[in-house]
Amino acid sequence: MLLPSIWKQTACKVSKGTIVDATLINAPTATKNKSNTRDPDRHQTKQGKPWYFGMKAHIGVDSKTKLIHSVVATPANVHDSQVLGDLLHGEETRLWGDSAYAGQQSVLKDNDPKVKDYTQVKGSRHRKLTEQDKAKNRHKSKVRAKVEHVFHIMQRQYGFTKVRFKGPGKNANHLFAHCALINLMLSKKQLLRLSVA
């Protein structure tokens, strides 16, 4: 879902850089219902060692202002890279993301062939990261960290750490409302300055 175009106007312009990331939002695993089953629209996934059951919030954030310009809600087992095309607003020249978004040049070319890919370089068992790769990743992380500030506001200030409803529609609407509130909070100073002028 693309958020309203008001963010592209005067006070809250979206720049040419986008940071993409996703976070897990837990769902209750309880089966105390008529069918004695967990929510069929939620799935489980492994992150590190523990398993999580719930949904995933994928967001596209402006690299300068931290404003959220696109949001996608999926079950937890959907890989981050699968929704990359939905997180781009179409006028980017730069894209930042963690190693989950590596190797998505075809999606970027479909969106805009001029987009520069600043996603983290991914190492493997057969190809270890060089010191130069590690230094580049550290430099990219300084920009990419801005998306973590948005997740901090979502989870710590607004308490959106667990889904409250059953079914994808209500939970997606709940997520979109939280993202709109986060944008209002992040652009509070600019909006107040506009209202005084």
Q: What crossing angle do the helices spanning 168-186 and 188-196 adopt, rounded to 10°?
A: 60
CA 168 to CA 174: how far, in whole Å?
10
Question: Which range of residues forms the domain containing residue 52?
Answer: 5-196
Q: Look up the CATH number of the domain holding residue 27.
A: 3.30.420
Using an 8 Å Cβ cutoff, are 18 and 52 in contact? no
Number of domains in the chain: 1
CA 93 to CA 140: how far, in whole Å?
15
Q: pLDDT 10s digit of each residue in the chain, 197 long?
A: 554 544 444 455 677 899 999 998 887 765 555 665 655 655 556 565 676 678 899 999 999 989 999 999 998 888 888 999 899 888 888 999 998 888 888 888 887 778 898 999 888 888 888 899 999 999 999 999 999 999 999 999 888 888 877 777 888 999 999 999 999 998 887 777 766 65
Which amino acid, one-letter code, is at 81? S
